[in-house]
Chains A and B, each alone.
Chain A
């Protein structure tokens, strides 16, 4: 199948109806009329198959199976939840069917983190983690914190009690730790299904979540069914846990469906390359090239000299903290891990809180499932106890204490204002001040129009410490079946050129760390079009987050596509 796709570079002949003419208004109210726009998106989430004549007569029935709990996402949160559920079930001698679906081809292949792990949650999950061989091999010896100017380095004292202090923590290859968690989970009887992505949330008639459906396979690039087309299957459960990591695509749907973000601030993000905050305003900024530039700083490059680049990857991470946590439960399911987002930003750690959230969810669900007097209003169980317990746990105390540190950097006093605030209110007062500062709003709304900003001249990569984008992407091992609809779907195919390019000079060609988005001249010679190189995608979710028109909707591609990280 893989070789087939390499050889058969299918050129699909698109009928004239694929080139709609568009007359519409852009966000500034100006009418943009355009010449025929080449059709970019063919995914069935945008163009429904019900009315598509190519799908007439195709059997759309799905195989159905039942479990007690289904977990979407085999990362630290999902696996911790699965393990905790089975630990409780075994201890109380109850039968519990727990299934984990994971889009990566193997557990850990889509895991990426700078990972300095605080082992607190792991200790709670497996007090004997050392004996079991958990790959925590590098304890932190020393911390160094500094501000980098263009050429110099101003060291900042690492006082004990500051959140950045890492005594007792370990540098880990999170992908390997996740793989180890997967092995522990399987030993306990969890059913792990890597290579199968949850593509759709299923609902009962009473509106509660019924479970998920995995992705269909065998759809061609133009959206038509191939010979090998097969429907995904439905996995039903009493409770479904969503642990898709930062900015999950099913979570995005659930926020709307159950109005979970009412009353909390919008999430703000960074991209881990590591780290460039995504609330930047200059559309000419390229996070990848900033990272390359950073490596050449006089205090950084000596550490890297003589080394060779063996891997590359990128992932968005959430930085909203306390203020941006949504409602966590809804009838039939709950959100765990970085999906709702429990990262302690100044500490730059979210793994321990993600794991703990998974464990708390498991404990609350187990109590409910084994309660003989349970009377549920809905077929899918609602477990509000999870959210209540989380708010009484150390996750909440921790996030509450550091909640004002990041927003304090956004005042007009900038970097030094933030440091001053942190010094006084966190280090001395431990975050007990009665007020809660706000963030600046959605990351996607922060970009200023291109004509108000200056293009940034980035230095050329030297091939030893800094590198070009495409050779880096090749190292991520990312690949997708090429003959499938692009999973980076556009709600409106005309918007990228009419709005993003026109107003913001096409920031997607810069913020994507995998070179997925390219603006290339139209064959006719006049104007540009957006080309989506979906095969390069490393599933970081930055485009879905930072697109100023919020027109890009990342959906899950065929399972087992994506990066092949090894211990990243």
Chain B
């Protein structure tokens, strides 16, 4: 039986909230805005908890990197069934520039420290849509990766993953330890119900800093400017095909 699963969870702005760009164009407004767990991370947590319920893994550890508020996200993972949490404290400028490179270095260090044999992450976060953390983590650890998983089966010391790819579905077999990233159809996450939230208060969340893991937080990426997408311009309706052709000629398109 595999001992430990590490699940990464990210606190992001809730998908239904209307995003506003900060007046100084350095980013988006986050203060006081509703946040929740990244939907793909919810699916990752659900998968890990199901593996535990099937007695295929012994312990599920939820990890999140960020300021104090990410503890709420870790608590939600604990309420869904994770056993304990790790909060890697990142705040201020480091948090503003936190990206897949630093997170994957942290996860790699934690995986070694915790002796995890399976890491499940969401395929991407809905705020930056990077789709890089899982892949980078696997590369840093030199582990095989099963990304865009819509099915995950543990068979002894191997993992069978069905991947959603452009051409359809691809089934691969990987030797443990592995990194898997969850896609939409992997499962339907359970609700974090109130009794479980109450029980989760008793579960432990360990705090640590990136420095404790020997991770360098310098970013290689600098955000120059954030802008709203341009306002959608009104289209023009035409009555006939001739009209359309002449309009296209006018605009120099043909």
What residues of chain A have their CB less than 8 Å away from a CB belonging to chain B? 1-4, 7, 63, 65, 101, 105-106, 108-109, 175-176, 179, 193, 196, 214, 217-218, 227-228, 230, 232-233, 310, 474-475, 477-479, 564, 566-567
Contact = CB atoms under 8 A, between A and B. Distances in A.
B32 A193 contact: no
Contacts of A196: 194, 197
B188 interface: yes
Q: Does more than half of chain A's interface fall in helix, strand or loop, or is it mixed?
A: mixed
Interface of B: 14-18, 20, 31-34, 36, 39-40, 42, 184, 188-191, 193-195, 197-198
A317 B24 CA distance: 36
Nearest to A568: B32
A536 B40 CA distance: 24
B39 A566 contact: no
A43 B32 CA distance: 33
The 9 closest A-B pairs by CB, nearest first: A479-B16, A564-B34, A63-B195, A566-B32, A217-B191, A477-B17, A3-B39, A2-B39, A233-B195
B34 A109 contact: yes
Given A7-B184, A477-B16, A232 B34 contact: no
B39 to A, nearest CB: 5
B198 A2 contact: no
B34 A475 contact: no
B188 A105 contact: no
A478 B18 CA distance: 9
Nearest to B20: A310
Contacts of A1: 39, 42, 188-189, 191
Contacts of B42: 1-2
B197 A193 contact: yes
Most central of B16, B17, B36, B198 by chain A CB within 10 Å: B16
B131 to A, nearest CB: 15
B32 A474 contact: no
A148 B166 CA distance: 62
Contacts of A108: 32
Contact of A478 (B15, B16, B190, B198): B16
B188 A227 contact: yes
Contacts of B184: 3-4, 7
Contacts of B16: 2, 477-479, 564
B14 to A, nearest CB: 6
Nearest to B184: A3
Given A217-B193, A228-B190, A230-B191, A475 B18 contact: yes
B193 A564 contact: no
A289 B50 CA distance: 51
A567 B32 contact: yes
Contact of A214 (B31, B190, B194): B194
Contacts of B197: 193, 196
Contact of A230 (B15, B18, B40, B193): B193
A307 to B, nearest CB: 13
Contact of A232 (B20, B190, B194): B194
Contact of B33 (A214, A230, A232, A564): A564
23 contacts: A1-B42, A1-B188, A1-B189, A1-B191, A2-B39, A2-B42, A3-B39, A7-B184, A63-B195, A101-B194, A105-B34, A105-B36, A108-B32, A175-B32, A228-B189, A228-B191, A230-B193, A310-B20, A475-B18, A477-B16, A479-B14, A479-B16, A566-B32
Given A1-B191, A227-B188, A230-B190, 6 more contacts: A230-B193, A232-B194, A477-B16, A564-B17, A564-B33, A566-B31
